[in-house]
Amino acid sequence: MRYGAYIGRFTPMKNTFRFGFGKKLVLHALAMIGTCSPIFATPSGLNNIPTADTIGEREVAVQAFDSFGGTEAHDFSMGFKTGLDLSSVHLELGLDGHLVPNSSGPFYFQTKAGFEPWKGGKIAVGVANVAVSDQSRAGDPFTYSVLTQDLQFFRVSAGYGIQTRNNSVLLGLDRTWKVVGHDLNLNADIVQTNDQSRWLSSVGLKYELCKSIVLEGWANLPDHGKTSFVAKLNYVFRF
């Protein structure tokens, strides 16, 4: 299993995610989650930063995630992404958005292009938080570049993100072990927030429940404020 294909949202560009087909999407996702068929699971990325990994071609990752704790109530969102290989360049495309509570929307588009210039090393550039509806309620896009290097004992990711009044350094570590025959990925990252005046660190894990379902969770540890948490379920299938 490859860990690194970011399927979530970046803390530096946190906004209220809203989109409007909630009940159908939730029911459809729950129906798919009901089976553990033997297909490729490719969840990746760390907690609050992107990595240079990309989801594979003809793979679709569907995610449902809830943030809670800190200063916010529960915030349930869903999204999906897929990959496309163009020779040596690997593309990733996705949409995500908030469902409940309160009104839903807008849609947010994200994409990144990655390549592997040397063994164990990957580089990617991308943009996220691009509102495709209801721009008046959306935040600004978040553009980034990131390097992910496998150092055998662990992987390290380092990059930089650009957003209006919120540029940020992106740093992270992760390592994967086999536990009861399934992949367990432990990771930590740190990112600048609040126009580079604050730092947000986090620790998290992913566990491959079966080849189509990966459970994920992490704790956000800001240098100022309360700890918050995210629980996520990833369902990945091939077509």
In the chain, where the domains are located: 11-238
Encode burial over 46-80: b for 16+ CB neighbours within 10 A, e otherwise. bbbbbbbbbbbeebbbbbbbbbeeeeeeebbbbbb
- Joined together, the tokens standing for residue 202 give 């986090």
- The pLDDT assigned to 44 comes to 52
Low-confidence ranges of the chain (pLDDT < 50): 1-43
Predicted model pTM: 0.81
- The pLDDT assigned to 25 comes to 40
- The pLDDT assigned to 72 comes to 67
**With the CA atoms of 30, 33, 34 and 37 taken in that order, what torsion angle do they form, in degrees rounded to the nearest 10?**
160
**11-238 carries CATH number 1.10.3720.10:** no
- The pLDDT assigned to 201 comes to 97
- The pLDDT assigned to 180 comes to 93
- The pLDDT assigned to 63 comes to 92
